[in-house]
Amino acid sequence: MRSRIVFAVIVALWLGVMPTTADEPVDAEVNWRIRQEGTANSQILQTLHYLTDVYGPRLTGSPNHEAAAQWAVDQLEEWGLQNGHLEAWDFGHPGWLNERLTAHIVSPVKDHLVCEVLAWTPGTEGTVKGDVYQLRPPLRPTEEALSTYLDSVQDAVAGKIVLFGEHRLVPVTLAGSARRREESTLRADYNPEGTNPSAQVSPPRQSTSADSDVLSAREVAQRVARFLRSSDALVQVNDAGRDHGQIRAFSNRTYDPEQVLPTVIMRNEDFGRISRLLEHDAVSLEFNIVNRWYPEGSTSYNAIAEIPGTDKADEVIMLGGHLDSWHAATGATDNGIGSAVMMEAARILQALGVAPRRTIRVALWSGEEQGLLGSQAYVE
């Protein structure tokens, strides 16, 4: 599968950089050489090893990301690409890195808990231990309803480790998580001839005056986070709410540690166990979270290198993807493999000694996970 993806990328590049007409056949010898080089000398797994095992995770602004970007530039230049450099852009927020996370239930039973830290949240400044309080805000509240509820529990959350929300009951999934879509389905969804006549378009939802007063889930979460911080709670615990122990941990969108508590996303099974225990007894948890902040991370970098063109060198074909990742894993699928494929495609063309008319530029972006920021900065 990897080799087919790389081959497809290279063929697309080759058609873009070489003069072709509708009647001109693709150069079979070049195609054969591409396949041979990719099969016999592939570096894609080695590249992915460095991007993930060595430098992952690669959160924007973190030392890991900058090191990965510099390694990518150095590697591309070692393969023969030119004009390799890190191109700076203003991220505007400090870098952040989680160095340590331990979590345990210590009473009424003892066990290890599985969770991940929310990015750009503070640490615990040592081990903290506290009783658990489960916060249950009203569903789809108005500003007034949420404020009334939070005021009523302010004394209760002080000095506590707080579970935010009800335990989510995740439906049982018996089907495999990965499945191949039939060609007929793809054609129906992505009809190359134009609008799909069978598509059912729902009419736009009509908002009501009552809806306009209801806070969104994000607004509720932001208000709760600020409330817990100001109420001297110890740690905020969110339910991952996913099956098979999956945890997706994103970030504190304010990037300001003064507005939030140390916050973790806990495996759904562990969150549910604590919630059920609370129905019968007091529960105590213990956390040790060490997070580091890097002011220099406010400047982030895109990794750039290129194969110069010949007579049309000022025309550039871009080849790239985002190098940054989230922090809870090593960023293999999102988007380490995509970056590795782009690097491998460029390596193969360079190894074959092709002389493209147009410049082929490899760009590995940062800041994608925060809103396509690195590529936007490049364009601007």
Region 38-54 average pLDDT = 98
Quote the tokens at residue 217: 């889930």
pLDDT of residue 199: 41
Cα end-to-end distance, the chain, whole Å: 35
Rounded to the nearest integer, the mean pLDDT of the chain is 91
Lowest mean pLDDT among 36-45, 137-146, 166-175, 234-243: 166-175
pLDDT of residue 187: 80
- Judge contact between 96 and 292, C-beta under 8 A: yes
Q: Which residue has the higher pLDDT, 122 or 2?
A: 122
Q: What is the pLDDT of residues 344-355, one digit of tens each?
A: 999 999 999 989
pLDDT of residue 368: 98
Please say if the pLDDT value at position 259 is more than 70: yes
Q: How far apart (Å, rounded) are the C-alpha atoms in residues 365 and 343?
A: 13
Please say if the pLDDT value at position 311 is more than 70: yes
Please say if the pLDDT value at position 298 is more than 70: yes
CA atoms within 13 A on the CB side of 34: 23
Lowest mean pLDDT among 14-23, 97-106, 148-157: 14-23
Question: What HEC string does 192-254 produce?
Answer: CCCCCCCCCCCCCCCCCHHHHHECCHHHHHHHHHHHHHHCCCCEEEEECCCCCCCCCCCECCC
In this prediction, residue 182 has a pLDDT band, given cuts at 50, 70 and 90, of: confident
* Residue matched to tokens 């990719």: 38
In this prediction, residue 285 has a pLDDT band, given cuts at 50, 70 and 90, of: very high
Domain residue limits, the chain: 2-93+296-379, 109-169+212-282
CATH for 109-169+212-282 is 3.50.30.30
Q: How far apart (Å, rounded) are the C-alpha atoms in residues 58 and 340?
A: 14
pLDDT of residue 186: 77
Tell me the whole-structure pTM to 2 decimals: 0.87
- Judge contact between 30 and 351, C-beta under 8 A: no
Region 256-272 average pLDDT = 98
* Percent of the residues in the chain that have a pLDDT greater than 70, as a whole number: 88
Please report, for residues 75, 79, 119, 294, the alpha-carbon distance to residue 302 in angstroms, rounded to integers and kept in the order given.
15, 19, 21, 18
Q: How far apart (Å, rounded) are the C-alpha atoms in residues 68 and 298?
A: 17
Query: Beta-carbon neighbour count of residue 137 at 10 Å?
Result: 20
Report CA Rg, the chain. Answer: 25
CATH for 2-93+296-379 is 3.40.630.10
Please say if the pLDDT value at position 3 is more than 80: no
pLDDT of residue 87: 98
In this prediction, residue 193 has a pLDDT band, given cuts at 50, 70 and 90, of: low
Please say if the pLDDT value at position 197 is more than 50: no
Quote the tokens at residue 169: 């009951």
* Percent of the residues in the chain that have a pLDDT greater than 90, as a whole number: 80
Q: What is the pLDDT of residues 214-228, one digit of tens each?
A: 999 999 999 999 999
SS3 state at 66: helix
Please report, for residues 124, 152, 230, 232, 379, the alpha-carbon distance to residue 155 in angstroms, rounded to integers and kept in the order given.
21, 8, 11, 9, 51
pLDDT of residue 9: 62
Question: DSSP readout, 281-347?
Answer: S--EEEEEEEEEEEGGGGEEEEEEEEE--STEEEEEEEEEEE----SSS--IIIIIHHHHHHHHHHH
